[in-house]
């Protein structure tokens, strides 16, 4: 029960009632005062005391964080979100390649029958190219430089969608290259009397290695068994590259007419598949050439989060891959930085798996990272005049740089006990660079649950006069916002789980 001071000498003369209420109950203390002398200041006397009480009022109902329900969009809207640009790219690439295989199989199109290895390796080379950090940075730089702000909004949205979903080309070309390898194997076995046994053997090994590499990258493997994906996709990928080189050199050196090996390398250089193999090797090697072991400071504001501090500033919209070893288990995190001029950049690592747990239980002094960072969808924020960056929890790591480095972006961050969980470093970056008119920090612990996120985004979108919304959240939060924005006609880009 709390106490409240009651003014005995009230400036108003005569009789007055004062009611004292007690928090969390329906009890009231009613005091009635009578002024005994209106001509001079005297002490008022309480003449009547009434106390009424009833059962305690029920506490306000709290929403469990992350348990909020939302009205699902209609099936057509959900289909449009599912059949995104990623899947459109995959469909187009695979369809054209399957038509090519069909025409080659019917001997209508002669080129791929004679140069099947070139078609297969051409697909695999493109698959590697579009996932390469250097090529990706070049594309983002070109688009941001040439088309920022002045081009029609629909065109800028198309640019962002294309860059975000390049993985559709990556997976489409990878699957198509595998299909062409199988076609190549069929042709080899049909002519096995003319082919050397070593070529047959390397063809089988190469195809199996590429197949394992592709299977390990299926979304359900990648998203639920990250370490399995890492080991198999990377090391089987390298095995595939080595086997491909042997397969190409053997195939291009063997003369089917004379059934003999050509010892001169000039003949190999004349084949397209050799140069595709060179391109594959170069673009696989480039990111690893920039790998370095660097110093890191680890801040542990809570048992749930580790904040990693690295030297040098970064432009917004980049992500870093870090690992405790030179080649194993690289994990990607969004980079927080005040700009290229800054001394440091930061990563927010939430405790989710063995790697992130080890950052808290055994903080490292050094970590391996690639100095060549790769660009994320936030990097295209430069294309837009005004935008909103929505994130939940550790998703702030991918969002905060955009708002720090651009005064035209508004931050909505939803989390639990934010300042205590994420620490003074992250809170300091927000309050130093973003005025209160540019952010909404929703602390679900203090406010008793999550907000109606879709409603919040709609209102902010109208208030801020934004052109686009970028979202970094968990699967459910992402779906809720993407469906809500799609129905409201708000352009939005969310986290991907289908790459």
Residues 394 and 459 reside in one and the same domain: yes
Residues 108 and 241 reside in one and the same domain: yes
Residues 223 and 342 reside in one and the same domain: no
Residues 90 and 212 reside in one and the same domain: yes
Mean pLDDT, residues 444-470: 93
Mean pLDDT, residues 417-444: 93
pLDDT at 499: 47
* Domain assignment of residue 405, yes or no: yes
Tell me: pLDDT of 14 over 80.
no
Residues 195 and 277 reside in one and the same domain: yes
Tell me: pLDDT of 28 over 70.
no
Residue 346 belongs to a domain with what CATH number?
2.40.30.10
Give the separation between CA 386 and CA 460, rounded to whole angstroms. 12
> pLDDT tens, 300-328?
999 999 999 999 999 999 999 999 998 88
Please say whether the beta carbons of 426 and 432 come within 8 A.
Answer: no
- CA separation (Å) from 257 to 262, 281, 290? 11, 31, 45
Give the separation between CA 213 and CA 121, rounded to whole angstroms. 15
Token representation of residue 255: 């003369």
Confidence category of residue 31, pLDDT binned at 50, 70, 90:
very low
Of 77, 79, 156, the closest CA to residue 484 belongs to 77
Residues 122 and 255 reside in one and the same domain: yes
* Domain assignment of residue 452, yes or no: yes
Give the three-class secondary structure for 379.
helix
pLDDT at 4: 35
Tell me: pLDDT of 298 over 70.
yes
pLDDT at 170: 94
The number of residues in the chain equals 499
Strand partners, 390: 412, 471
pLDDT at 496: 85
Give the domain-ending residue among 375, 396, 419.
375
> pLDDT tens, 279-289?
999 999 999 99
Count of domains for the chain: 4
Torsions phi, psi for 131 (to 5 deg)? -100, 0
Q: What is the model's pTM?
A: 0.81
Parent domain of 432: 380-493
Residues 41 and 99 reside in one and the same domain: no
* Domain assignment of residue 140, yes or no: no
Tell me: pLDDT of 39 over 70.
no
Residue 398 belongs to a domain with what CATH number?
3.40.50.20
Give the domain-ending residue among 348, 375, 402.
375
Residues 84 and 207 reside in one and the same domain: yes
* Domain assignment of residue 70, yes or no: no
> pLDDT tens, 238-275?
899 999 999 888 888 877 777 778 767 777 888 898 99
Give the three-class secondary structure for 417.
coil
* Domain assignment of residue 147, yes or no: no
Confidence category of residue 439, pLDDT binned at 50, 70, 90:
very high
In sequence order, the 6+-apart residues with CB closer than 8 A to the CB of 497 are 219, 223, 475
pLDDT at 263: 66
> pLDDT tens, 338-391?
999 999 999 999 988 788 899 999 999 999 999 999 999 999 999 999 999 999
Confidence category of residue 114, pLDDT binned at 50, 70, 90:
confident
Residues 14 and 97 reside in one and the same domain: no
Mean pLDDT, residues 221-233: 75
pLDDT at 27: 40
Residues 30 and 105 reside in one and the same domain: no
- pLDDT higher at 439 or 253: 439
Of 172, 202, 173, the closest CA to residue 185 belongs to 202
Confidence category of residue 498, pLDDT binned at 50, 70, 90:
low
Please say whether the beta carbons of 248 and 274 come within 8 A.
Answer: yes
> pLDDT tens, 167-220?
999 999 999 999 999 999 999 888 777 778 888 999 999 999 999 988 888 877
* Domain assignment of residue 139, yes or no: no
> pLDDT tens, 83-99?
999 999 999 999 999 99
Q: For strand 366-370 and strand 291-295, is the pairing parallel, antiparallel, or unpaired?
A: antiparallel
Strand partners, 45: 34
Please give, one letter per residue, the 3-state secondary structure of 72-102.
CCCHHHHHHHHCCHHHHHHHHHHHHHHHHHH
Residues 126 and 189 reside in one and the same domain: yes
* Domain assignment of residue 200, yes or no: yes
Confidence category of residue 118, pLDDT binned at 50, 70, 90:
very high
Residues 421 and 310 reside in one and the same domain: no
Considering the chain, what is the average pLDDT of its residues? 84
* Domain assignment of residue 158, yes or no: no
Give the separation between CA 484 and CA 77, rounded to whole angstroms. 10
pLDDT at 220: 78
Cβ-count burial of 145 within 10 angstroms (0-12 exposed, 13-18 middle, 19+ buried)? exposed
């Amino acid at each position: 029960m709390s106490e409240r001071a009651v003014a005995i000498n009230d400036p108003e003369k005569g009789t007055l009632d004062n009611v004292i209420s007690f928090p969390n109950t329906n009890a009231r203390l009613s005091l009635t005062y009578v002024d005994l002398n209106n001509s001079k200041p005297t002490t008022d006397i309480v003449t009547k005391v009434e106390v009424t009480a009833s059962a305690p009022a029920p506490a306000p109902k709290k929403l469990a964080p992350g348990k909020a329900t939302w009205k699902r969009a209609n099936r057509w809207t959900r289909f449009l979100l599912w059949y995104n640009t990623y899947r459109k790219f995959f469909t187009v690439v695979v369809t054209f390649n399957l038509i090519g295989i069909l025409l080659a199989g019917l001997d209508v199109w002669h080129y791929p029958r004679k140069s099947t290895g070139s078609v297969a390796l051409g697909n695999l080379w493109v698959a590697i190219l579009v996932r390469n950090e250097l090529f990706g940075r070049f594309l983002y730089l070109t688009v941001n430089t040439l088309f920022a702000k002045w081009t029609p909004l629909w065109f800028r949205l198309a640019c962002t969608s294309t860059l975000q979903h390049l993985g559709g080309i990556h997976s489409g070309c990878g699957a198509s290259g595998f299909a062409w390898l199988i076609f190549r194997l069929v042709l080899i076995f049909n002519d096995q009397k003319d082919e050397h046994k070593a070529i047959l053997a390397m063809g089988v090994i190469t195809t199996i290695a590429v197949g394992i590499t592709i299977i390990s990258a299926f979304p359900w493997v990648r998203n639920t068994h990250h370490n399995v994906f890492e080991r198999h996709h990377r090391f089987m990928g390298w095995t595939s590259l080595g086997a491909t080189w042997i397969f190409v050199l053997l195939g291009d050196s063997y003369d089917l007419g004379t059934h003999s090996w050509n010892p001169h390398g000039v003949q190999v250089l004349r084949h397209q598949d050799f140069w595709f193999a060179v391109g594959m090797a170069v673009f696989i090697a480039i990111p690893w050439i920039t790998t370095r072991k660097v110093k890191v400071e680890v801040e542990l504001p809570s048992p749930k989060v580790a904040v990693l501090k690295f030297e040098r500033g970064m432009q917004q919209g980049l992500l870093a891959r870090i690992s405790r070893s030179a080649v194993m288990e690289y994990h990607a995190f969004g980079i927080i930085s005040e700009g290229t001029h800054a001394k440091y950049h930061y990563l927010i690592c939430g405790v989710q798996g063995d790697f992130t747990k080890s950052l808290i239980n055994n903080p490292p002094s050094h970590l391996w990272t690639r100095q060549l960072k790769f660009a994320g969808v936030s990097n295209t924020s430069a294309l837009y005049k005004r935008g909103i960056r929505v994130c939940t929890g550790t998703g702030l790591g991918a969002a905060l740089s955009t708002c720090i480095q651009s005064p035209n972006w508004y931050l909505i961050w939803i989390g639990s006990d934010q300042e205590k969980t994420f620490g003074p470093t992250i809170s300091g970056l927000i309050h130093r660079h973003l005025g209160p008119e540019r952010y909404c920090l929703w602390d679900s612990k203090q406010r008793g649950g999550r907000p109606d996120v879709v409603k919040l985004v709609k209102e902010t979108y109208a208030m801020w006069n934004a052109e686009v919304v970028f979202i970094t959240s968990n699967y459910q939060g992402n779906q809720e916002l993407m469906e809500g924005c799609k129905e409201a006609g708000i352009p939005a880009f969310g986290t991907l789980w289908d790459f």
